[in-house]
Amino acid sequence: MRAAEYPATEHPATERAVRAFVETYGERPTHLVRAPARVNLIGEHTDYNDGFCLPVAIDRELCIALRRNEAPELRLVSEQDAVPAVIPLPPPGLDTPVSARAPGWVRYVEGVAVMLAAESASRAAAGSGGSRAAAGSGFPAGGGLVPWRGTLASDIPVGAGLSSSAALELAVALAGAHLAGLTPAPTELALLAQRAENLWVGAATGLLDQFACAAGVAGHALRIDCRTLTTEPVPLPGGLAVVIIDTGSRRQVVTSEYATRRAECERAARALGVAALRDLTPRSMDEAVARLGRSARSDGTTRPGGAAGGTGPDPVALDPVALDPAALRRARFVVAENARVDAVAAALRAGDAPTAGRLLLAGHRGIREDFEVSGPELDAAVQAASAAPGCFGARMTGGGFAGCAVALVDRSRLTAFTDAFEPAYTALTDRRAVLHVCSAVAGTSVLDLG
Ligand code: GLA
């Protein structure tokens, strides 16, 4: 049997959102916001290490049809939930206890409203100053707080690692900003959405998802520098298909494991003497590790190679990395992964799909063995994809453990690829995958419907 293919729905999300608006509110919406999903080609778990990533904004989108509201509230009806999001304006303060924040998807909507309000307040207090997220002219005092009502339709699978929550945050942020007459840059929108995720939802994620969904460029991957917040579009060769493989697996452990990995990376950076792992190359990391090993040995506290054990004072207190092989392995992965981002970007620019594919496979090996955030279904998908005809390489994509893999496939051999992949994956997992041959689209946008 052939793998099922996205999109599963007959009507696009744009159409469903507008139709739902008319049915719900008995009038036409004035605006339509569209926010794409993203898939990350390479550069995983590098964003919170100030590093590089190479995502693509894809043609699976979340749409909000909306118009101004008389009542002082933001009201959003979703096709996926009988209970709407209703956020009073002004929204709750940042000091609201977690237990009093909205549950589920509504918390993302609420979080963006809270951040828009916080930006306005910090602008008002600081004159032309304000926080990093308020930099530029995008969110002046009082901006982004116009009440509106809307309807939400989405073709982005939830929990699959394609950033359905970032798309929601960005759509809500742009809706509010646009109605207030503001034109924030994609960077400003992404930072605001990230703050909603970090400070309100409570997930300490990096900027990858929000930046990709905000700043995507049609036909291109986007090289993001997460320290300088600059982006560079990298053209995708025409003969190359980016295929997303939804393994059908979903896991709950992601948030806690994510926080652990992030802490391990930060610990390793401190021990290696850099502000962030971004500041190391594979060679300078080797040198830093050798220095660390020398000083550890001269203390007589660790065995060569950094294995735990021995006698004497508590070695952990003296040398956290030499005795924390896990943190060292995480760091090695991140440093190598940062280097792979530029290597994949160069290969794509040169139209060298085989090299790009090999780098993706190397990335997957690293994430499985050193970073340890893969999962059985993701490994099976990569194994089945890379053995299928026309495939240059594949890897898991996103936070990890479950969700989606991404494969680079020769466009002229897509049918042979799909035909071979499906039975191979099912034989390994007893599951059916959903494939999506995706196009690279532009980032979050708003349309005036007149
Ligand atoms: C999740 C996070 C991102 C990023 C990826 C891993 O998607 O939201 O910030 O860290 O995991 O690359």
- Give the tens place of pLDDT for each residue, 279-301: 999 999 999 988 887 766 555 45
Q: Which residues of 12-48 are buried (b: 16+ CB within 10 A; e: fewer)?
A: ebbebbbebbeebbeeebbbbbbbbbbbbbbbbbbbb
What mean pLDDT is predicted for residues 132-141?
48
When mean pLDDT is compared across 38-42, 128-132, 154-158, the lowest value belongs to 128-132
Pair of tokens at residue 157: 């699978």
Give distance in angstroms: CA of 206 to centre of ligand 1.
Answer: 6
If you ran DSSP here, which 8-state letter would residue 5 be given? E
Residue 138: pLDDT band (50, 70, 90) is low
What is the CB neighbour count within 10 angstroms for residue 445? 19
User: Does 138 contact ligand 1 (Cβ within 6 A)?
Assistant: no
Nearest-atom number in ligand 1 for the CA of 203 is 8
What CA–CA distance (Å, rounded) separates 357 from 384? 14
Give distance in angstroms: CA of 51 to centre of ligand 1.
Answer: 12
Nearest-atom number in ligand 1 for the CA of 48 is 10
Q: Of 37, 334, 446, nearest to 212 (Cα)?
A: 37
Largest alpha-carbon pair distance within the chain?
Answer: 77
Q: Mutation test of ligand 1: which of 47, 207, 226, 341 has the most ligand atoms closer than 8 Å to its C-beta?
A: 47
Sign, Cα dihedral of 160, 161, 162, 163: positive
Give distance in angstroms: CA of 231 to centre of ligand 1.
Answer: 17
When mean pLDDT is compared across 9-23, 132-146, 321-335, 390-404, the lowest value belongs to 132-146
Pair of tokens at residue 368: 């499985």
What CA–CA distance (Å, rounded) separates 138 from 141? 10
Pair of tokens at residue 99: 């237990």
| Residue 36 backbone phi and psi in degrees, to 5 | -85, 160
Q: Mutation test of ligand 1: which of 165, 194, 209 has the most ligand atoms closer than 8 Å to its C-beta?
A: 209
What mean pLDDT is predicted for residues 300-328?
53
Give distance in angstroms: CA of 400 to centre of ligand 1.
Answer: 9
Nearest-atom number in ligand 1 for the CA of 207 is 9
Residue 192: pLDDT band (50, 70, 90) is very high
Pair of tokens at residue 357: 């594919």
Please determine, for residue 98, whether its predicted confidence score (pLDDT) is greater than 50.
Answer: yes
**pTM, two decimal places:** 0.90
Give distance in angstroms: CA of 115 to centre of ligand 1.
Answer: 20
* Contact (Cβ atoms closer than 8 angstroms) between residue 367 and residue 396: yes
Q: Which of 141-150, 289-298, 398-407 has the highest mean pLDDT?
A: 398-407
User: Does 59 contact ligand 1 (Cβ within 6 A)?
Assistant: no
Q: Of 433, 341, 334, nearest to 383 (Cα)?
A: 433
Please determine, for residue 19, whether its predicted confidence score (pLDDT) is greater than 70.
Answer: yes
User: Does 319 contact ligand 1 (Cβ within 6 A)?
Assistant: no
If you ran DSSP here, which 8-state letter would residue 440 be given? B
User: Does 44 contact ligand 1 (Cβ within 6 A)?
Assistant: yes
Give distance in angstroms: CA of 228 to centre of ligand 1.
Answer: 18
What mean pLDDT is predicted for residues 58-74?
96
Residue 10: pLDDT band (50, 70, 90) is confident
User: Does 169 contact ligand 1 (Cβ within 6 A)?
Assistant: no
When mean pLDDT is compared across 134-138, 184-188, 269-273, 365-369, the lowest value belongs to 134-138
Pair of tokens at residue 417: 């690829």
Nearest-atom number in ligand 1 for the CA of 161 is 7
Nearest-CA residue for atom 1 of ligand 1 = 399
User: Does 393 contact ligand 1 (Cβ within 6 A)?
Assistant: no
* Contact (Cβ atoms closer than 8 angstroms) between residue 398 and residue 371: no
* Contact (Cβ atoms closer than 8 angstroms) between residue 83 and residue 238: no
User: Does 208 contact ligand 1 (Cβ within 6 A)?
Assistant: yes
Residue 323: pLDDT band (50, 70, 90) is low
Query: For the chain, how are helix, strand and coil distributed in percent, rounded to 5?
Result: 45, 20, 35
User: Does 261 contact ligand 1 (Cβ within 6 A)?
Assistant: no
Q: How confident is the prediction for the chain on average, in pLDDT?
A: 89
Give me the active site residues, please: 209
When mean pLDDT is compared across 22-36, 155-169, 281-295, the lowest value belongs to 281-295
Q: Of 359, 397, 361, nearest to 378 (Cα)?
A: 397
Pair of tokens at residue 246: 């939804």
| Tens digits of residue pLDDT in 235-268 | 999 999 999 999 999 987 677 899 999 999 999 9
Please determine, for residue 28, whether its predicted confidence score (pLDDT) is greater than 50.
Answer: yes
CB within 8 Å of 321: residues ≥ 6 apart: 267, 268, 271, 272, 289, 292, 306, 327, 328, 331
pLDDT at 191 (0 to 100):
97
* Contact (Cβ atoms closer than 8 angstroms) between residue 265 and residue 331: yes
Give distance in angstroms: CA of 52 to centre of ligand 1.
Answer: 12
Distance from CA of residue 197 to its chain's centroid?
11
pLDDT at 121 (0 to 100):
73
% of the chain beyond a pLDDT of 90: 80
What mean pLDDT is predicted for residues 170-183?
94
What is the CB neighbour count within 10 angstroms for residue 151? 25
- Choose between 428 and 129: higher pLDDT: 428
